[in-house]
Amino acid sequence: MLIDAHCHLDFPDFDDDREAMFERALQAGVGHFMVPGTTRERWPAVLALGKRDDVSISLGLHPYFMNQHRVEDVEALAQALDEHPEVRVLGECGIDARFEEILDDQWTLFNAQLHLAKSRHLPVVTHCVHANDKLSQRLRQLDLPAGGLIHAFAGSPDQAWKFLDLGFVVGLGGAVTYERAQRLWRAVRSLPEDGFVLETDSPDMPLCGHQGQRNEPARIGQVCEMVAKLRGVAPEAVAVQSTATARRVFGLS
């Protein structure tokens, strides 16, 4: 069984065919889904999905949606975690350095969430675009007790290992299916068996051959096959390893 370790199945993109999407995923061997919260407004939809046996969730404030966050949302996040003790992961949070003009605000929000994760011993799901070095530096200073996931990792072997040394794993998704991702391919080959999980980031991050289309968890097999090919092992081995790693990182039973 495969786990999609990062997919936004609460997004409106799936409102018209959510059940059919879950069914296609199941047919493709994907049996569990990790759905991260992105904005305070969307947490109720994420919490509702989390009631399914095959869905686990996290709650957080995503840097892509800075204009929707308010100062008081961090306090609301702490409260939501109090009210929902079944939520044992914090995120999606992080830094997206493509949006330079709001970078200071992103760091303020990210730091607040990291402190919250630290005080509660929660693993963290991070979104990290063009900020691998700064982010690993920050994580090293904070020394988080429960590690977490660097989702949609797209960096170098050296950057991957810096995260692994801090108790994090990297998420491998659609990016690995593109021939141009040579540096990422080297990183994938260098990872230990227990250093990565598979993800789709659905509905985003379309796979090679599916550009311009909505992504969905049923396609994660293509990521699994590419990772297996790069590592010179059978796809079944990658499936077993990545599923075990996702269970460990997220504390799934």
Q: How many residues bind Zn ion (CB under 5 A)?
A: 1
HSE value, Cβ hemisphere, 13 Å, CA-based, for 245 = 27
Shortest spacing between CB 152 and Zn ion, in angstroms:
7
Return the number of the residue (4 or 92) whose C-beta is nearest Zn ion.
Answer: 92
Q: Which stretch binds Zn ion (CB under 5 A): 86-94, 103-111, 187-195, 219-227?
A: 86-94
CB nearer to Zn ion: give 94 or 195: 94
Using the rule CB under 5 A, give the single segment among 89-97, 137-145, 215-223, 241-249 that binds Zn ion: 89-97
* Closer of 67 and 253 to Zn ion (Cβ): 67
Give the shortest CB-212-to-Zn ion separation in angstroms.
19
Q: Which residues, numbered 90-129, are part of the site for Zn ion (CB under 5 A)?
A: 92
Please state the closest distance from residue 61 (CB atom) to Zn ion, in A. 12
User: Closest residue (Cβ) to Zn ion?
Assistant: 92
What whole-number distance in Å separates Cα of residue 225 and Cα of residue 233?
Answer: 9
Closer residue to Zn ion (CB): 92 or 96: 92
Residues 17-76 that bind Zn ion (CB under 5 A): none
Nearer to Zn ion, 171 or 195 (CB): 171
Instruction: Report the interface residues with Zn ion, using CB under 5 A.
Output: 92
